[in-house]
A and B are shown apart, each in its own frame.
Chain A
């Protein structure tokens, strides 16, 4: 600029401050990436002997016998996927329903706010407390149900065999409660993000309230609801303490939800303290797989969230 500009000084100041701020942000971002890289490196380094020795077989064999150096995490992968899958099946309908009730004015505002507060409180209870609650409350309930089911529903594969309290079902129920706040909060946000004009459009065409909710509002929020589910799934897969306390930590494969099972996170928590040699390497390998699975789930969730944002931006 040729002409003297009285405002150029403050602008320059502002710019240099902006540059500093940008630098700080970049450093923080770099730190996050570096940390992730470092963790991955350490895990892969620690797992390397086991990766070398077992390769892909590690993923496809069902054996965990440390003293004979037989390691395969198939049951734990299945247990991880099954426990979080069942938890989602239980928590999804409940979470979406709560979200709908919180978002629509079916209930008086104080009631809505109380429900919302309580559900959000669930997120702040420590995992180990959920574990204890599971031991004292859920295990007896599941055992009772299991004893009944093995008699009356013995034909159904998922209820076959003897019933245990420490079981896949117990862990899944507690997990469902733990991920409920995630599902509810994200679902409610995406329901609230549905433009008001769409709702009015449905009502103006003679839709009843439920027709508007189920036919227009929920479908419009669908990508967000899917994202909520996937993020909750990621959380359920990584959950350690409560699951380790409740699932029974068995490496036996079974069809029954009433049998003990195990998850990758639970396996690590239970065995790392006393592991030596190849067992340590194999636990590292298991950790790597857990990280990869949850990473995958989170990436998928992120992609779907972005898709939602693009889609709602197009509605108006």
Chain B
């Protein structure tokens, strides 16, 4: 069985434009339940390849829930179920013969709170490679340098790769987590409020990084920061009470939204 990553690179879909396929991830009639409580209602959206898509909306509207469905992290919670479909490059991620392990290697994730493992910087970065059985030192070394450069952290840590990751600053830890997430060259990078625990300078660095990373990855970022959404996303989706209210080019959403709710939210009238 080809892995999803191979699948993604092999496919030559019709809807290819400059930066890639427009429906790299497609969500169809998607409903999601925590036990009896429905958290997502009838979501339909296509997320384009190699662009940054921002999820915005008031607290509790289901942004994280949808994000965590893309790599099936919600399955770790007891009593959840869903209906509808999510496809990655035209292939259902819930399909019986999709291995969740392989899916998660194709779709990396960065969390709100940085969560470096209590290991060295080096071991944090190569974690995904180690668990996929890679032991070749030269390969691991290359991966560490490439990933840390990719996360704009290399220069700051290259002399202390074997020191504990817990000695880094908050912003450095978050960039380390980004490096760790891109080490295995995923196709998609999910980021759930990656800057909310960072100071403005660290935030700028991560935002710059996001703009660079989209050359290579499809990025979905959840944010409460409107400026951040305008600064680094191409498309923006506004959620409200578990529903997708509006989804359009970021510029359009923030300059001339079609929905009253969206306008109220981005102008700070509620939320």
Contacts and interface: CB of A to CB of B under 8 A. Distances in A.
Interface residues of A, number: 22
B78 A105 contact: yes
Given A197-B113, A211-B131, A215-B131, A205 B166 contact: no
A208 B102 CA distance: 10
Contacts of A200: 73, 76, 111, 115
Interface in A205-226: 205-208, 211, 215-216, 219-220
A128 B217 CA distance: 66
A155 B181 CA distance: 54
B73 A205 contact: no
B73 A203 contact: yes
B119 interface: yes
Nearest to B109: A204
A105 B79 CA distance: 13
A199 to B, nearest CB: 8
A314 interface: yes
Contacts of A201: 111, 115-117, 177, 180
Given A197-B113, A200-B111, A215-B131, A206 B184 contact: yes
A205 B111 contact: no
A61 B128 CA distance: 56
Contacts of B102: 206
B101 interface: yes
Contacts of B78: 105
Contacts of B119: 219
Contacts of B117: 198, 201-202, 216, 219-220
Nearest to B132: A206
A62 to B, nearest CB: 45
Interface in A289-316: 311, 314-316
A149 B213 CA distance: 65
Nearest to A204: B109
Given A195-B115, A197-B113, A211-B131, A204 B71 contact: yes
Contact of B101 (A206, A220, A315, A316): A206
A315 B104 contact: no
A215 B131 CA distance: 9
Contact of B184 (A195, A205, A220): A205
Contact of A316 (B113, B130, B184): B113
Contacts of B109: 204
B118 interface: yes
Contacts of B166: 311, 314-315
B57 interface: no
Interface in B152-180: 166, 177, 180
Given A197-B111, A200-B76, A211-B131, A206 B118 contact: no
Contacts of B128: 205-206
Nearest to B119: A219
A181 to B, nearest CB: 27
Given A205-B127, A215-B131, A198 B115 contact: yes
A34 to B, nearest CB: 41
Contacts of A203: 73, 76, 104
A205 B115 contact: no
A316 B116 CA distance: 9
A206 B131 contact: yes
Interface string A232-271: 0000000000000000000000000000000000000000
Contact of A205 (B105, B113, B118): B105
A311 B119 CA distance: 12
Contacts of A195: 115
B108 interface: yes
Given A205-B105, A206-B131, A315 B76 contact: no
24 contacts: A105-B78, A197-B115, A198-B117, A198-B118, A200-B76, A201-B180, A203-B73, A203-B76, A204-B108, A204-B109, A205-B105, A205-B131, A206-B101, A206-B105, A206-B132, A207-B131, A208-B131, A211-B131, A215-B130, A311-B118, A314-B166, A315-B166, A316-B113, A316-B114
Given A207-B101, A316-B114, 12 more contacts: A198-B115, A198-B117, A200-B115, A201-B180, A202-B127, A203-B76, A205-B127, A207-B127, A211-B131, A219-B117, A220-B117, A311-B166
